Amino acid sequence: MNNLILKDDSATNILGKNIANILLKSSFDVIEIHLNGDLGTGKTFLTKSILKNSGWSRNVKSPTYTLCEEYEFNNLLFLHIDLYRTNEAEDILIFNLDRKINGKKIIIIEWPEKLKEPRPYDMKINLEHLDKSREASFNIKNNIFLGLDKNNV
């Protein structure tokens, strides 16, 4: 898939909206997205946009200190993880990400490179600084996400 130039906040928001639409439409029980990229490239910003466009209308906190934030709504369980501040990557076990639930589970992990045991993902997005904009590149393992690069208008 092509890289996407995200000119400003609103372009990142559109990407988040397009991802949310795909998540809501898909029939998979579990979908996992990994977000790579330096500090400030927009990983949390993109996750907030995905959550809001999936129907979460309340506040979204960054999990920088808590490591994991959970959101339950509309038969969805959203787990947002940020591993930046942990050196104990096995800490992630306490969040029981692989629990069985009724409904759809969406897992988003910032700084997945800190995982001690790599986890399979449906899509990995790498965000990079590009002057005042951002560039997103995609590693897609689940075809539901194909086409995201062509649909950012």
Return the C-alpha torsion angle 33, 34, 37, 39, nearest 10. Answer: 90
Query: CA–CA separation, 95 vs 86, rounded Å?
Result: 13
Could you give the C-alpha distances from 34 to 70, 132, 137, in angstroms and in order? 16, 23, 12
Q: Which residue number, 117 or 131, has a Cβ lying nearer to ligand ADP?
A: 131
Q: Which residue number, 51 or 104, has a Cβ lying nearer to Mg ion?
A: 51
Q: What is the footprint of ligand ADP within residues 59-88 (CB under 6 A)?
A: none
Q: How far is the CB of 147 from Mg ion (least distance, A)?
A: 26
Q: Which residue in the set 104, 105, 114, 134 belongs to the binding site for ligand ADP (CB under 6 A)? A: 134
Query: CA–CA separation, 151 vs 94, rounded Å?
Result: 37
Q: Which residue in the set 4, 18, 19, 43 belongs to the binding site for Mg ion (CB under 5 A)? A: 43
Q: Which residue number, 25 or 132, has a Cβ lying nearer to ligand ADP?
A: 132
Q: Which residue number, 63 or 104, has a Cβ lying nearer to ligand ADP?
A: 63
* Contact assessment for residue 133 and residue 105, using Cβ atoms and an 8 Å cutoff: no
* Residues contributing to the site for Mg ion (CB under 5 A): 43-44, 110
